[in-house]
Every structure is written in C-alpha cells, then in structure tokens.
Amino acid sequence: MSLPLHAPDASDAPAQDPSPYALAPAAHEPSAGDQWWRRAVIYQIYPRSFKDSTGSGMGDLAGITAELPKIATLGVDAIWLSPFFPSPQKDAGYDVSDYRGVDPLFGTMEDAKTLISDAASFGIRIIIDIVPNHCSNEHALFTAALAAAPGSAERAMFHFADGLGEGGNTPPNNWQSLFGGSGWTRVPNPDGTPGQYYFHLFDATQPDFNWRNPAVQEEFEKTLRFWLDAGAGGFRIDVAHAMFKKEGMPDWGGAPDGTPRPGYPFADAPMFGQPELHQVFARWREICEEYPGEPVLCSEANVRPLSRLADWVAPGQMHQSFNFDFLRTLWDRDALAEVIGDSLAAFDAVDAPTTWVLSNHDVSRHATRFGYDGRAMDLGDGIGPRDAQPDTVLGRTRARAATVFMLGLPGGAYLYQGEELGLGDNTTLEDAYRQDPTFLRSNGERIGRDGCRVPIPWVHDAPACGFSPTGETWLPQPENWAGFSRDLQEQDPDSTLNLYRKALALRSELGLGLGSLAFYANPQLPEVLAIRNGDTVNVLNLSGAPVPLPEGEPLLFSAADGPALAADGLLGANSAAWLRATA
C-alpha cells in the first residue's frame, strides 16, 4: 500500500504553512458496529507465571482470582488465559490431555468457575485458550489410537500413516515439526515390531488431530459448549491455520513454518490455510452466538498476506485475529505505517476490527526486542546469555512509546502480563533451566521462549518478588526484577504501570478503539509517524532526537523515566504523545 508519508517534494507544501505535518485523507472510517470486541483491550495471563498462591513455584488460578482487583485497575475488557487444562506440560500446557478439566498444578474446576464469576463482577470476561490442532500424547483419544489397529476408527482421529520404502523406514512425507526435526514419529505395533507413523506439527508429544473426521469436530463442539456453559467470554484458537491438512498430505518444499520461499508461496503450504477450515469456524461462530454476552473467537492464525488473513474474520467467521505482521515490525517508521495501513485496509474490507499486539508468551517481549537496532524478530527464537544483550533502557523507552502509539490506534489490542511493568525477557537464563521444547528439539540451537515467560514481580522486598509465598519460581527471575515490582510502580506517578493505566483510561474516554485513522504526511520528519484518530493526534517519534509536534493540546506522553521529554512543542526521542487536535 502506498502511504502519504513522503510528499513528492517538500517544496510543494504551501509556503505560508510552517507545520511539517499535513493531514491526508482518512485511511479508515469507523465501522457501523460498536460491539465490545471491536475495541476490546485483552490482557493475556500466562497462568504459570502470574501469581502462585500455594508456594509451589507455579502460578495458579487462585492466584489470578486474588489479583483481579489489580487487573481491574488497568481497565481491560477481558483476560485471555493460556492453557490451564490437565497436561503433561511438555509444551507448557499446549499439550492438553483433557480439554474439560483443570490441571492440579493450577487448581480445580471450582477455582476456574470462581475465577470466571469473580472476573465478571469486575466486568472482565475470561477467554479460554483452545488447542484444536493437536492434543497431548496422553489424551485418552490418542492412547486409544495407539492401542488400536492401523485403519481403526481410533486411529482415524489423528494422522496415522504407513512409512515409505524398505521396511517402511521413511516417514510418510517430508513435513517438518515447527519445533525442529521430522514431523513424524513411529510407534511400535502391539507385538513390538515397528508400526505406523503419526504426524505432529509441534513436539512428538503433541499429535495432530484429523479435522476431516467429523468425530473430531464433534469433540471440540462439546468442549466449546462446556466452557461457554461455565461462563467463558470466548476462545483464543491456537494454531487455527493448521487444523486441516491438504488431502493426501503431499510433500512440501517450503519452509516448515510456511515462510514463503521462491517457488513455495505460503498459499500453497499443504499444512496451512486449507479452505475446509472456514466451515468449522462458521459452526463455532454459530455456537458462540447461541450464548449471551457475545462470546468471541480470536484466531492465532499465522497467515500471510494480511488480505488472506482477513478470510479468518470475514462475516460469520471469527471475530478477531492476532495481527502478527504488526508484532513482527521493526522500529521503523515506514514499515510500521505500511503494516498499519495494510491491516486496516484488509480488515475493513470484511468489516472486521484490526487487532494490535506487541508481546506474548511466544516472542521476545517488546521491551527487549526494541533494545536492539534493527534486530529481526524471529518468532520463538529468544535471546540467551551467549547472545549480544539488548540496551534495556533504550528497549524500555521505545516499548513505552510503542504501546502508547498502539493504544491510540483504532481496533482491539492485546497486552501480555508484565508489559505494563516494563518487563523485558530474562536474556541471561542458563540453559539448565530451559523447558521450551524448541530448545530441547534443536539441541539448544534455538534458545526458545522461556525468557519471556519468567514469573512476574509483585512486591520488591518479598521472596520471589512476591510471585510465590515460598520464594519458589519455576523459572528463575533476573536479578533486577525487584526494581520492576508492581508495589514500587503503584507509588510512582511516572511508572510504566501508571502510564498504561492513563493510556487505557484515555483510550476509553476518547473512544479511540472505535475511531478512525488518517495519516499525516511529514516528509521532513522521516522518523516520525503521526496519525489522527477522531480529534486525537497520535505521534510516535522513532528517532533519537526531539522533533516538533503537530499543533494540539497535549494529553499524554511517554518517555524513558520521568514525564515527557517534550517541551516547547517538541516530542522527545523515542517517545509518543497524544494531543487534542486544535485544527
């Protein structure tokens, strides 16, 4: 998409106008609909690392319930809870052995119901993480499939196939696991001889379901109803793009994650984006619509380009989809402008809201990523002690600015627990502590995602910074964690926590989530991105020096430490501001 940021020639600007900013025509008009999910701010809780009420070192549901009043002060609409279901925890709970239960690690079904109802009393919905692409190899359906014969109804719930070549020693096709290595694992026959293979897009402990089998579809409809009956506010759908595999599962020469390569466009990947998905999403939407309160479906669909992702949120499909293109974007004005413009165009075309996200449990936190100049963000490949370390002050400064700018965009937004404290990753975690299967399956070549999953700090002078009453933590916290504790930030008006609170309150007051968007053309300021959303001007200075602001009355600033660096109509380096337009 061509954006109006670069005027053909700055000298074309009217001579009498000294402002370097010129408003371009609107790139996005508000939708006619004003449903809650079109502007929702959703806070992701990773239960393992939020709050441990028992002292086990593992966060739990009762810990979350106890902290609901603090979450409510942020002003979010919903909580997305990463999986808390029974699981052998080979992929931190994304290997589910019972979709309708609670792992004793995290509490009981009673705890889950209390959390849902207490959250509702704060006006917060609970969004459940459903993992339909695969389950755990300890799920009863998979153990039954292993015990059953090739060709049985039990095996038809998964992708079992005979090997190729002599003795069937070659896997059925060349598909790889996204966590590294072959996507196929061979199982023995009851008599101990080598038997069939099963497919797993992730770890060998995560067998993929066969979504062409109506029995699989029925299983998940029951699960959706189970949680909707319990009062859930909707679902985040894990790996929604991979549920169906192309008939016959043909070999694929492209990258295992579908990253386009010459001759292998994403659109041809036989394990992603199959058209049959959409009839399942339509059915799920119908089920959600049977329940009160507009439960939502949000897809984790790693689909490119954005125009194709829009099919996931077309009328009658899911309500929202994560916008990973935005999350992947570097600290670069033109790249950001392009992804914002393209996202709005793609989603507007199907009357769906765009969502914005900067951090989650699968990527380096944005306070860490933005501490590198030009670092490419390889999703899932974290930073370890042997890597170049980020500039943490720069990273946090830019992260604050990026969040303020993001919250001023029209659409929904996702926040990841701890980003409101300005947390970065633990980038010096020793290998001995790592639990991510990405690290284990790649023999340590890929550092993995543990660094962004570290238990968060609550109280600066308590054991484990208040995460756990005993001081236990399932992953070690970095030494400087106490300085980011919530209790200290509560008292500091300029803390990142208070910046998030102010930005969220203003966003709601100004109606920015349901707003419009027009870019400013500002060719003399190549590292400044400025947009107008209704009467609010939203400016991001990506440069290392102060820049002039457009005209307007300041509403909010973001900067490293302390209040705004802006003075005399200037916006500080790596900072963001919202202004009330005066013209």
Choice between 353 and 448, CB closer to ligand NOJ: 448
**30: Cβ contacts below 8 Å, ≥ 6 apart:** 410, 514, 515, 516
Closest contact distance (angstroms) between CB of 94 and ligand NOJ is: 3
Choice between 238 and 325, CB closer to ligand NOJ: 238
Distance, CA of 433 to chain centre = 24
Closest contact distance (angstroms) between CB of 411 and ligand NOJ is: 21
Please confirm whether the linkage preceding 526 is cis (ω < 30° from 0). no
Residues of the shown chain interacting with ligand NOJ in the complex, contacts defined by CB under 6 A: 91, 94, 131, 202, 238-239, 300, 361-362
Choice between 94 and 272, CB closer to ligand NOJ: 94
User: At CA 534, angle to CA 345 and CA 562, rounded to 5?
Assistant: 105
Nearest-CB residue for ligand NOJ: 94
- The 3-class secondary structure across 29-72, one letter per residue, is CCCCCCCHHHCCEEEEECHHHCCCCCCCCCCCHHHHHHCHHHHH
Q: Are 437 and 91 in contact (CB under 8 A)?
A: yes
Choice between 137 and 536, CB closer to ligand NOJ: 137
User: At CA 448, angle to CA 187 and CA 178, rounded to 5?
Assistant: 45
**490: Cβ contacts below 8 Å, ≥ 6 apart:** 497, 498
Closest contact distance (angstroms) between CB of 201 and ligand NOJ is: 8
Closest contact distance (angstroms) between CB of 79 and ligand NOJ is: 16
Q: Which two tokens stand for residue 321?
A: 């989809």
Burial of residue 532 (number of CB atoms within 10 Å: 0-12, 13-18, 19+): buried
Please tell me the distance from the alpha carbon of residue 449 to that of residue 455, in angstroms, as a whole number.
Answer: 13
Closest contact distance (angstroms) between CB of 202 and ligand NOJ is: 5
Closest contact distance (angstroms) between CB of 509 and ligand NOJ is: 33
Choice between 103 and 238, CB closer to ligand NOJ: 238
Alpha carbons within 13 angstroms on the beta-carbon side of residue 337 total: 27
Closest contact distance (angstroms) between CB of 481 and ligand NOJ is: 22
Q: Which residues of 310-348 are buried (b: 16+ CB within 10 A; e: fewer)?
A: bbbbbeebbbbbbbbbbbebebebeebbbbbbbbbbbbb
Give the dihedral of Cα atoms 435, 197, 131, 264; nearest 10 deg.
90
User: At CA 455, angle to CA 476 and CA 130, rounded to 5?
Assistant: 125
What positions carry a catalytic annotation?
A: 238, 290
Q: Are 193 and 428 in contact (CB under 8 A)?
A: no
What are the CA-CA distances from residue 557 to residues 44, 300, 529 (Å)? 25, 32, 15
AA identity, residue 320:
Q
Q: What is the largest CA-CA distance in the chain?
A: 89
Choice between 239 and 313, CB closer to ligand NOJ: 239
Place of tokens 């009863």: 140
Three-state DSSP at 344 gives: helix
Choice between 91 and 420, CB closer to ligand NOJ: 91
Closest contact distance (angstroms) between CB of 280 and ligand NOJ is: 17
Choice between 5 and 78, CB closer to ligand NOJ: 78
